[in-house]
Every structure is written in structure tokens, then in C-alpha cells.
Amino acid sequence: MSTYNGYDSGQWDENEALLAYYSEKFSLPRQRIRTKPPKPSNEQEKLEREKELVDAVTADRGIALGLEITYTPARFEAEWLYDSLRNFFHLDLITDVMAQVKGGKEASVYRCQPHPTVDAEWLAAKVYRPRQFRNLRNDAMYREGRQILTDEDGKPADPKDDRIIRAIGKKSAFGVQVQHTSWLMYEYTTLQKLYAAGAAVPQPVAVDQNAILMGYVGDGSRAAPTLHEAVLEPAEAEPLFQETLRNIEVMLNQGYVHGDLSAYNILYWEGKITLIDFPQVTDAQANRNARKILSRDVQRVCEYFGQYGVECNANAITEKLWARYAAPDPMDYLADMSKVEAARDEAERLKTERVERLKAEREER
């Protein structure tokens, strides 16, 4: 088992609330939450108390699910981690969780030991935080033009399903859960399409209601750093910049704009890059903000590689990419205008007929 490394003492009050939530959600033994103990008086007491709670909560949930893992979760983390990954264990996709390799406000990533039948040295499990505690961003700009995806197979929900539309509009518990599921499924289905198209993205393996299992980048001692954390050799910068542009082109060719591309969402390992984090992927054709979002992605990429002396004009690159892959076809525009003109002519014809009919009726009187 991994050793306990302590936790930020400044998070004590927040963690107390989180523990209460998970204790109620998963029906932990009542004697453990009957009374709230006094706050620790010093740092050492805080660490000792927290370790006791970590061990207790982790043991309860792990035993209940028949799981035992190497990684020791923090006490507020154990419940949703076990609950989110248990189906991957039951489907013989993973046999152990070794370490957390990335923590975030919306999701955390864990290095997992794959089942012997899975052809991989390691797998990465991206587990979304419970929606009550995620940093829910204003994602309307990204969601424009996207259909609601279901959790059964990632296919679009019936647009005529008034129940879903109303729930989302009212932001009810069901509506928020539907949006959460759709957000997650967009990331998974995007990974599937981009990986098949030859993009440098993790290989998607499986998806569940709150987690995505995918290829892992790194080794047994550490995960691949992001470009933001890496220091490139001068000779690497230009080829990696071109590889990043190639991936942007692959995305556009599939109808996507990443939506949050930067040095923070590109991994670097052994001279190669891997693009990650696709829940906010934008529809290049249906979203009116797509060009602006693409321009921002390209600008961020140019700013990073510009530090290494790579010459790039973000505006020119955006114009070129947009014109080649996403700009509306002039013939489609003309066809649409022809339909408008035809509709306008038909409306005018019907109006004229109505006026003439009314005139004729008056004359008959």
C-alpha cells in the first residue's frame, strides 16, 4: 500500500463537508458520523486524524465492493473513486489503481494496472469529480450545436424528448446529470474518432457513467508531463509545433475544434506529444463561435512555441485552416439563398392570390 502523504490543512473545513456528503450517500456506519469531533489543535494531530479517517472510509467502501487497491485515496476521494471504477474491475479491464497522476477541479487521472487480457503496460482512468463539487464552468459557448448524448451508447438523445429538454432548462438534478453524461460522452466519442483518424490522442478503452479508461502516457515512476512543465531541446520545437498543427488539422477534418488547446493540455513524452482533455470539443460547422475558439487555440499554441524561437503567425494560420476545413462552401450559401428567394416568391404569390380573392368577393357582393 502507498504511504500517506498528508493533506492541505487549509482544506479541513471543506473536507469535513465532503465526508458528511459521502457518508450519507454511501450509508457508512452511523457510529462514525454520529458526532463531529473537535478540530485538531495542531498540524500533527490533523495529519494523524486524517490518516485514520482515510483508512476507515477506504476500507469500508473497498470491502463492500470487493476491491483492494495499492493507491490510498484521500478520505473525501475514496467513495467516488471506488464507485466510478468498479465496473472496470468487474469487466476485467483493470486489476489495481497504482497512483493518482493528475488532480483537478473537474477530474482526476489515475495510473491503473491493466488486466492480463488487456494489451497495455498501464492504463489511465480519468474520473470526473461528483457534479456537486466540480467547478461547473459556463460551457454554453462550447455546447452550441451539440446534441445531447446518452450514456448507453453515446448516441444522440431524441430531440423530441420533452422530459430531457425541460429538465435541462430547469437545471433539475436529472437535467444536470444528463448534461454531465453528455459532456463525458463527447470526450469519449471524440477520442474514438480522433484516434481512428490518426491523431496523437490516448487510445480510448472504455467508458462508464463517471469515468473514461484510456491509454496511459508515461512509465511506472511518473506520468508524462505537459508541455507547460517540460523543457524542450531547441531542435525539438519546430517539429513538435508542426505535429501540433497536424493534429489541429486532423480535428478540423473530423469537424472538431479542441476548444481548450494549450501547453497545459498537450503531454510530452520521449520526444512525442499527445493531446488530451476533449470534453469541451466544439462542432466546427454548427457552432457560431467555432472560428473564434479555433483562433484562441492556435494563438495559445503559437505563444508557447514562440518562446523557443518558432516563427508563427497565429492569425494567418487560423485563416488558412478555417478556409481549408471549416469555412462554409459558397455553393451551399448560394443554394441556401436560392431557397430563401424561392420561399419569398412563394409567399408573395400566396399574398397576391389572397388579395385578388378578397377583391373578387367584394365585387360579387
What is the mean pLDDT of the segment spanning 296-313?
96
pLDDT at 167 over 90: no
* The model scores a pTM over 0.75: no
More confident residue, 62 or 125: 125
Contact 79, 60 (CB under 8 A): no
Domain ranges of the chain: 234-326, 329-365
Q: How confident is the model at residue 205 (pLDDT cuts 50, 70, 90)?
A: very high
9-23, 124-138, 159-173: least confident range? 9-23
- Domain 234-326 is in which class? mainly alpha
More confident residue, 361 or 189: 189
Tell me what percent of the residues of the chain surpass a pLDDT of 70.
66
For position 239, what pLDDT does the model report? 97
pLDDT at 261 over 90: yes
Measured between alpha carbons, how far is 286 from 311 in angstroms, rounded to an integer? 32
pLDDT at 9 over 60: no
For position 171, what pLDDT does the model report? 67
What is the mean pLDDT of the segment spanning 347-355?
79
pLDDT at 256 over 70: yes
For position 63, what pLDDT does the model report? 41
More confident residue, 273 or 174: 273
First to last CA, the chain: 98
pLDDT, tens digit (0-9, with 9 covering 90-100), for 57-100: 544 455 444 567 899 888 778 888 988 999 999 999 999 999 99
pLDDT, tens digit (0-9, with 9 covering 90-100), for 132-162: 555 545 566 666 656 666 665 666 666 666 6
Q: How confident is the model at residue 327 (pLDDT cuts 50, 70, 90)?
A: confident
Mean pLDDT of the chain: 79
